[in-house]
Amino acid sequence: MSRGAGYVLIRNEKLLRSFSLFLNYFRAIKSLHHIIALLKKDLLLEIRQQYTFYGILLYVASTIFVLYLAMNQPEENVWNGLFWMTQLFVCVNAVAKSFLQENAGRMLYFYTIAGARDFILAKLLFNAVLMVVMSLVSLLLFQLLMGNPLQHPFKFVGYACLGGCSLSLVFTFLAAIAARARQGAALMAIMGFPLIIPQVLLLMRMSNTAFADVIQAGLLQIILLLVALDILVMVLAVILFPFLWKD
């Protein structure tokens, strides 16, 4: 072939490659748009249907009040243990509502307009934020009612946020699985407790340092391990969720 035709072929290929790069960039922006739209939808629903948010707040308050009546003002490691157990059960209840209250038709609608990946990312982020808010509220109530044995309160606030985030990521994906099995929060709890045990152990060890000046060797390792676990759970959820919703 003549030089002219080959030259046009190469130019077209370059154009095609740069166009596909542009398309990828465009697709990422569209993805971000979807995620933000879904987040806004969830937030709006929470603000309007106030029973969900206030329901969880009431659950937190009642649990802590009952704990206070039962234990009065426990000493440090009991305080710590009770705090994380409360977080666990609050998380199960808070996250269960996110998937198990929507009916199948609405879920299908969201999947078709936004795609499975964006949907699960939006749910993961929303539940993480919700759980962080609940963690801070329950920390406040704990300090009010159950005494304040914390030596480093700001560190503990950070630990509570990280812990709430970690717990909510695992339970969100398990809620998706339980919703598919049409089974409800009990099955979600059964599946969730074994998987959450390592994270709870790490969280307990980490948060012990906020009480007396306990030197926990490898504290940074523990924090990095928790963050790495969170990233692992998010990656697994994003990869596996599209298989779940196919019907």
Partner 1 sequence: MRQSWWKILSIVLLLYCFIGGLLVPLPNRIAYEDSNLYESMRNFFFHVPMWFSQLAMISVSLVYSIKYLRHPDLHNDIYAAEFARTGTVLGCLGLITGAIWANYTWGTYWNNDPKQIGAAIALLIYVAYFVLRNSMTDIDKRGRVAAVYNIFAYFIYIPMIMILPRLTESLHPGGKGSEGNPGLGGSSLDPAMRAVFWPGVLGWILLATWITTLLLRVRFLEEKKLSR
Nearest distance, CB of residue 218 and partner 1, angstroms: 6
> Does 173 help bind partner 1 (rule: CB under 8 A)?
yes
Residues 142-171 that bind partner 1 (CB under 8 A): 170
> Does 108 help bind partner 1 (rule: CB under 8 A)?
no
Using CB under 8 A, which of 60, 121, 233, 234 touches partner 1?
233
Nearest residue to 60 via CA among 90, 81, 85, 82 = 90
> Does 21 help bind partner 1 (rule: CB under 8 A)?
no
> Does 132 help bind partner 1 (rule: CB under 8 A)?
no
**Taking contact as CB under 8 A, which single stretch among the options 67-75, 111-119, 147-155, 175-183 is the one that binds partner 1?**
175-183
Q: Which of 1, 217 has the CB closer to partner 1?
A: 217
Burial class (CB in 10 A: 0-12, 13-18, 19+), 19: exposed
> Does 119 help bind partner 1 (rule: CB under 8 A)?
no
Nearest distance, CB of residue 81 and partner 1, angstroms: 14
CA dihedral 214, 144, 55, 164 (to 10 degrees): -20
> Does 190 help bind partner 1 (rule: CB under 8 A)?
yes
Handedness of CA 105, 178, 84, 168 (dihedral sign): negative
Using CB under 8 A, which of 177, 204, 223, 238 touches partner 1?
177
Hunting for tokens 């697709």 — which residue is that?
Answer: 27
Binding mask 193-222 for partner 1 (x = CB under 8 A): xxx-xx--x---x------------x--xx
Q: Where are the beta strands (DSSP E) in the chain?
A: none
> Does 85 help bind partner 1 (rule: CB under 8 A)?
no
CA dihedral 59, 129, 161, 205 (to 10 degrees): 80
Report the distance separating Cα 84 and Cα 88, nearest Å: 6
Nearest residue to 27 via CA among 123, 125, 108, 118 = 118
Contacts of 184 (CB under 8 A, 6+ apart): 96, 100, 178
**Taking contact as CB under 8 A, which single stretch among the options 82-90, 101-109, 142-150, 189-197 is the one that binds partner 1?**
189-197
How would you classify residue 148: left for phi > 0, otherwise alpha for psi between -120 and 50, otherwise beta? beta
Residues that bind partner 1 (CB under 8 A): 170, 173, 177, 180-183, 187, 190-191, 193-195, 197-198, 201, 205, 218, 221-222, 225, 229, 232-233, 236-237, 240, 243-244, 246
